[in-house]
Amino acid sequence: MPKFGIVVDLDKCSGCQACSVACAMENNLPSGSADLAEAGRLLRWLQMLPQFEGEYPHYGGQTVPMMCQQCERPPCTLVCPVSATYPSADGIVAQIYWRCIGCRYCVNACPYTMKWFNWFEPQWPGELKDGTNPDVEMREKGVTEKCTFCHHKLQIAKERAKAEGRAIRPDEYVPACAMACPTEAIVFGDIEDPESDAFRKSRGARAFRFLEDLGTNPKVIYLKSM
């Protein structure tokens, strides 16, 4: 069973945020509003995390694409009272919206603050809903959501491959962020397959994980900027 992960090369990341917008479109993230933004309630599964230090003129850093880290030992799953979130066999931390009771224990438990709670009913003014992705479930008020490595694409790829009696090809399952990245800074793949780019990059000297000392063992690996 492949263990899917993402490697983000911070040296190649230009900060363009094509990944963030592509993710929002692919996964039917609510548009949001000025009120939600003011209240800090905008839902964006993939956000840029500012990592700066120093004072002018000795100032430096960059923004880092941050999404659910798909931990091997996810704290969020340990606290969910209804198993609405659990680690699946293919390495993706699943989120079942219909099970979620909105207690937000997982939101609090996540050390990366990458679980998002729908405080309000998502609004789709006008005909905006016509442009939403039919493969992705629309969430509603009261449930938590997060990056799923575009799990729906994996399902579709599996169905197609099964129908054709073959294995899934690597290019058949690529999350929206990796597909959108114009500098190939985001690489997706099986981080335990020695043939995959993701495996090779994740074992390089520049590789690191955020909050490694917490023991969550995230499957989003970053490569330090050179």
Partner 1 sequence: MKLGATAGLGAAISGTGSFVFPKNSNDDELAAAQIHRNLPEDFVASVCSCCPALCQLRLRRVGSKIVGVLPQSPKPCPRAYAIPQEIYHPERIRHPMRGTGARGYRAFETVDRGSAVDEMSRCLLQNPVRSAILLGGTAAASRNLLAEFALAVGCNDVYVEDSSIHQGPVDALRDATGWDRWNFSTLKSNGVISFGFEWLQSSSAFPESMVAFQKMREQNLPIIFVGSRYGTTAMRSKEWVRTRAGYEPLVALTICAHIIKQEKHARSCDAIQGFGDFAKSIAALDVGAFCKKTGVSPREIHRISDILIGRPKILAISCRGRLEDQWPVVLLNIVLGSVGTEQPLLPVQKLASPATAPAEGIPEKIERGDVESLVIVESNPVFGSPNPNRWRNALCKVKRLVVLGTIFDESCAFADVVLPLSCASESSDVYAKVSNSEVTRVKSEPAVPKGADMFDLAHLVFDLAKSPGGKELPWRTLDEYSNSVKTVSPPDLRIDLGKFVTWKDPVFEEGEFHVVPFVPTGFYCQNGGHLPYLLTTAGAHLREFWTTFIEINKETAHRLGIEDREIVILKSGAGEIEARARYYEGVPPDVIGIPLGLGHRIGSFAQKIGGNPSQLFAFRRDERTGAVLWNLQKISIRRIH
Contact letters for partner 1, residues 139-158 (x by CB under 8 A)? -x------------------
Interaction of residue 172 with partner 1, rule CB under 8 A:
no
Question: Which one of 1, 89, 126, 205 is in contact with partner 1 (CB under 8 A)?
Answer: 126
Instruction: Identify the residue among 50, 164, 195, 213 touching partner 1 (CB under 8 A).
Output: 50
- Does position 103 interact with partner 1 (CB under 8 A)? The reply is no
Piece of the chain touching partner 1 by CB under 8 A; list 55-63, 105-113, 159-167, 204-212? 55-63
Work out which of 78, 113, 155, 183 binds partner 1, going by CB under 8 A. Answer: 183
Say how far apart CA 5 and CA 220 lie, in whole Å.
Answer: 6
- The reply on whether position 113 binds partner 1 by CB under 8 A is no
16 makes contact with partner 1 (CB under 8 A): yes
Q: Does 180 bind partner 1 (CB under 8 A)?
A: yes
Q: Report whether 12 contacts 201 (CB < 8 A).
A: no
For position 18 contacting partner 1 by CB under 8 A, the verdict is yes
Question: Is 88 near partner 1 (CB under 8 A)?
Answer: no
* Residue of 154, 157, 149 lying closest to 92 (CA atoms): 149
Least spacing, CB of residue 154 vs partner 1, in Å: 16
78 binds partner 1, rule: CB under 8 A: no
Residues in binding contact with partner 1, number by CB under 8 A: 63
- Beta carbons within 10 angstroms of residue 213's beta carbon: 6
195 scored as a contact of partner 1 (CB under 8 A): no
A 10 A CB-CB count for 53 gives: 8
Stretch of 134-142, 163-171, 193-201, 208-216 lying at the interface with partner 1 (CB under 8 A): 134-142
Buried b (16+ CB within 10 A) or exposed e, 89-126: ebbbbbbeeeebeebebbbebbbbebbbbbebebeeee
Binding positions for partner 1, rule: CB under 8 A: 11-18, 20-22, 24-26, 29, 31-35, 37-38, 42, 44, 47-48, 50, 52, 54-57, 59-63, 82-83, 98-99, 125-135, 137-138, 140, 179-185, 226
